[in-house]
Amino acid sequence: MRQRGPSVQEEHAPNSICFGCGPANQNGLKIRSFRSEHGLEMEFSPKAEHQAFPGMINGGIIGTLLDCHGNWTAAIALMDQSNESEPPCTVTASYSIKLRRPTPCGVALQVSSEIKEIEEGRVKVRMALRAGGEVCATGEGLFVAVKEGHPAFHRWN
């Protein structure tokens, strides 16, 4: 995947401390998602500390990659739908993951997402994680925009 300037996280939430996607979290994964034809795409290079056992990535790390990437897919879709310049703060209402094969360490992982359904501040997203072209994990999530008063309302500011 070629680099295309700032990621959606860097553009819209440079001060976010989220473990998975926060640019300001020095110890986090710092995923960088970019627009694609039907959603977002990203590439992630796992490190040795992301392993569950020698040579394979921990399922929790895989879940975090899919969760954060799916959440940003929903936020950008809602922003585009409402013709706003900034995305609403969104949170994960539910998500499920299928770990289809062991995910290797030492190779770049590609994560893609697409919108399955969008209505009234709720977005269903489908995600896939690949290594070397092989699907290692898939997921689906429901992400919702939060309103003022919710603890996550201003989290991207």
Percent of the chain residues topping a pLDDT of 90: 89
Give residue-wise pLDDT tens across range 4-62.
799 999 999 999 999 999 999 999 999 999 999 989 999 999 999 999 999 999 999 99
At residue 27, the pLDDT reads 97
Question: What kind of fold does domain 8-145 have according to CATH?
Answer: Thiol Ester Dehydrase; Chain A (3.10.129)
Sorting pLDDT into bands at 50, 70 and 90, what band is 156? low
113 within 8 A of 65, measured Cβ to Cβ:
no
| Mean pLDDT computed over 89-98 | 97
Sorting pLDDT into bands at 50, 70 and 90, what band is 117? very high
Strand partners for 40: 35
Domain boundaries, the chain: 8-145
At residue 40, the pLDDT reads 98
Neighbour-count burial of 48, counting CB atoms closer than 10 A to its CB (0-12 exposed, 13-18 middle, 19+ buried): exposed
Average pLDDT, the chain: 95
Going by C-beta distance under 8 Å and a sequence separation of 6 or more, which residues neighbour residue 63?
95, 97, 139
Q: Which residue has the higher pLDDT, 60 or 152?
A: 60
123 within 8 A of 146, measured Cβ to Cβ:
no
At residue 135, the pLDDT reads 99
Sorting pLDDT into bands at 50, 70 and 90, what band is 148? confident
- The CA distance from 157 to 147, in Å, is 14
Instruction: Indicate the pairing of strand 40-44 with strand 109-119.
Output: antiparallel
Going by C-beta distance under 8 Å and a sequence separation of 6 or more, which residues neighbour residue 112?
36, 39, 40, 41, 127, 128, 130
Q: What is the helix, strand, coil percentage profile of the chain, to 5?
A: 20, 35, 45
